Amino acid sequence: MADKRDYYEVLGVSRDATEKELKKSFRSLARKYHPDKNSSSDAEKKFKEIQEAFAVLSDSEKRAQYDRFGHSGPSMGGGFSGFDIRYEDLFGSGLEDLFSNFFGGGGRQTRSRQARGKSILVRKKIPFQMAFDGGSEEVSIDTFLSCDVCSGTGAKSRDEIQICSTCRGQGHVTQTRQVGPFLQQTNVTCPDCKGRGKIILNPCNICNGDGRNKKKQTIRFNVPAGVDSGMRLRMRGKGHVPQQGGIAGDLEIELILEEHPWFERDGSELLMSLPVGFPDLLLGKKMEIPHPDGKPLVIKIPPNSLSGHTLNISGRGLPNGRGRRGDVIILLKLFIPKKPSKSVKSKIESLRNDLTVPDNDLQSTIIDEANDRRS
Ligand SMILES: [Zn+2]
Ligand SMILES: [Zn+2]
């Protein structure tokens, strides 16, 4: 283990760092090197290194031992396999739960880690209107729930559960291996109880020893205003319960916002293009279209507008989450009738000289246009 880096160095903290400093540094490094976010080849190794350093330094007993003996301390030694930390857990209060689960609130942790059920991810389409108003929706999912008959133990009765003798209920056993001149100790999952620490002699006949039954559940949830596609809502403990008891996984709902018939969304702004006839561009026009916020959207096209120009209507876009609303941005687009009648054509023909670019001004108009575009 001579090539192991100093734990304080790994976390980038001083030797007298407080618990708070350790947590802060761990959290930020773990986010940086989490394999879900960091694809560089050494990220996973680094991530494990950070976890190991934190696991030792955040436990006051282990830390004291490490301070005295370094990596060769009595309970150090190899075999650190890393925790299953999800990226989301590195934000907000989730990490606190994790700390208490993994590190027993900073004290001795002699019991095996509780099994955790699988999480469920569902995708749910929601109407565009919800981006304005928020609201509530529901999903139906099939979930493994704890068996009522055996209370999730999987056994016919409490007496039918025996502590596993191989691992003495620890769920893991220590394997010792000779590596060169060293004896390396590794913790592995107990092969007899599969890490559960107990063995069921007589299984419950409702769940057949599984400790759980699949049931359809309807879960209601709130959608915040300003929601966008891809947003994920996480509900702790609404996922599957693991076999033979433990902590239920989470339910994650990924929201997919349905498209609006004409608006395109850019954050809290709404973009649309509006076909406008030539007379309306030239003379100006006021019009109204229905708007998802309930009040009609009044569009005032000023005289001498150009196709390709935009109008901004402020505060009528989507809520931006900071108590304000974005804008509606309207692109004006010249509308040309597809099949003008003969009489329309002849009327336009009579106006041609008034509406077109005069031949002898053509070059200067082209230059004006170019300058306009460059400015
Ligand atoms: Zn066992
Ligand atoms: Zn059962």
Give the residue-averaged pLDDT of 236-257.
91
Model confidence at 91: pLDDT above 60: no
Q: Are residues 68 and 140 in the same domain?
A: no
Model confidence at 145: pLDDT above 80: yes
User: Residue 348 belongs to a domain with what CATH number?
Assistant: 2.60.260.20
Q: What is the structure's pLDDT at 104?
A: 36
Q: What is the structure's pLDDT at 250?
A: 93
Distance (Å, rounded) from C-alpha 94 to C-alpha 79? 26
User: Which of 11-15, 93-97, 317-321 shows the lowest mean pLDDT across its residues?
Assistant: 93-97
Q: What is the structure's pLDDT at 35?
A: 77
Model confidence at 141: pLDDT above 90: yes
Tell me, rounded to whole angstroms, the distance of Cα 2 from its chain centroid. 39
Model confidence at 245: pLDDT above 90: no
**Which residues make Cβ contacts (< 8 Å) with residue 224, sequence separation at least 6?**
134, 321
Q: Which domain holds residue 289?
A: 264-374
Q: Are residues 140 and 97 in the same domain?
A: no
Q: What is the structure's pLDDT at 253?
A: 93
Q: Are residues 142 and 244 in the same domain?
A: yes
Model confidence at 7: pLDDT above 80: yes
CA of 115 to the centre of ligand 1 (A): 14
Model confidence at 375: pLDDT above 80: no
CA of 189 to the centre of ligand 1 (A): 8
User: What tens digit of pLDDT does each residue of 297-316 get?
Assistant: 999 999 999 999 999 999 99
Q: What is the structure's pLDDT at 23?
A: 85
Name the token pair of 42. Answer: 């050494």
- Is the residue at 125 inside a domain? no
Side chain identity, residue 186? T
For residue 241, which ligand has an atom nearest its CA? 2
Q: Are residues 268 and 363 in the same domain?
A: yes
User: Residue 193 belongs to a domain with what CATH number?
Assistant: 2.10.230.10
Model confidence at 1: pLDDT above 60: no
Name the token pair of 302. Answer: 């000023």
CA of 146 to the centre of ligand 2 (A): 8
For residue 203, which ligand has an atom nearest its CA? 2
Model confidence at 133: pLDDT above 60: yes
Model confidence at 111: pLDDT above 60: no
Q: Are residues 150 and 95 in the same domain?
A: no
For residue 146, which ligand has an atom nearest its CA? 2
CA of 54 to the centre of ligand 1 (A): 27
Q: Are residues 365 and 278 in the same domain?
A: yes
Distance (Å, rounded) from C-alpha 255 to C-alpha 19? 37
271: which DSSP letter? E
Name the token pair of 174. Answer: 């220590």
User: What tens digit of pLDDT does each residue of 259-302 get?
Assistant: 999 999 998 999 999 999 999 999 999 999 999 999 999 999 99
Model confidence at 334: pLDDT above 80: yes
- Is the residue at 118 inside a domain? no
Q: Are residues 86 and 158 in the same domain?
A: no
Give the residue-averaged pLDDT of 216-241.
91
Give the residue-averaged pLDDT of 336-358.
93
Phi-psi category of 77—alpha, beta or left, where left has phi over 0 and alpha has psi -120 to 50? Answer: left
CA of 144 to the centre of ligand 1 (A): 24
- Please check whether residue 219 is in contact with residue 139, taking contact to mean a CB–CB distance below 8 angstroms: yes
CA of 203 to the centre of ligand 2 (A): 8
pTM for the model stands at 0.58
CA of 180 to the centre of ligand 1 (A): 29
Q: Are residues 78 and 143 in the same domain?
A: no
Count the domains in the chain.
Answer: 3
Side chain identity, residue 49? E
Q: Are residues 66 and 147 in the same domain?
A: no
Q: What is the structure's pLDDT at 281?
A: 97
Tokens 């994650």, residue? 252
Q: Are residues 56 and 154 in the same domain?
A: no
Distance (Å, rounded) from C-alpha 313 to C-alpha 316? 6
Model confidence at 331: pLDDT above 90: yes
User: Residue 84 belongs to a domain with what CATH number?
Assistant: 1.10.287.110
- Is the residue at 41 inside a domain? yes
Q: What is the structure's pLDDT at 37?
A: 75
- Is the residue at 309 inside a domain? yes
Angle at 294 between CA 293 and CA 297, to 5 degrees: 80
Over the range 296-316, which residues count as b (16 or more CB within 10 Å of their CB) and which as e? ebebebeeebeeeeebebeeb
- Is the residue at 117 inside a domain? no
Over the range 220-229, which residues count as b (16 or more CB within 10 Å of their CB) and which as e? eeebeebbee
Q: Are residues 273 and 369 in the same domain?
A: yes
**Which residues make Cβ contacts (< 8 Å) with residue 98, sequence separation at least 6?**
83, 85, 89
User: What tens digit of pLDDT does each residue of 94-108 get?
Assistant: 444 444 444 433 333
**Sorting pLDDT into bands at 50, 70 and 90, what band is 73?**
low
Q: Are residues 244 and 284 in the same domain?
A: no
- Please check whether residue 156 is in contact with residue 247, taking contact to mean a CB–CB distance below 8 angstroms: no
CA of 213 to the centre of ligand 2 (A): 8
356 or 107, which is more confident? 356
Give the residue-averaged pLDDT of 197-221.
92
Max CA-CA distance within the chain?
Answer: 104
- Is the residue at 228 inside a domain? no
Name the token pair of 58. Answer: 């955040």
Over the range 67-86, which residues count as b (16 or more CB within 10 Å of their CB) and which as e? eeeebeeeebbbebeebebe
Name the token pair of 245. Answer: 């008891």
Distance (Å, rounded) from C-alpha 1 to C-alpha 369? 72
- Is the residue at 294 inside a domain? yes
Q: What is the structure's pLDDT at 85?
A: 64
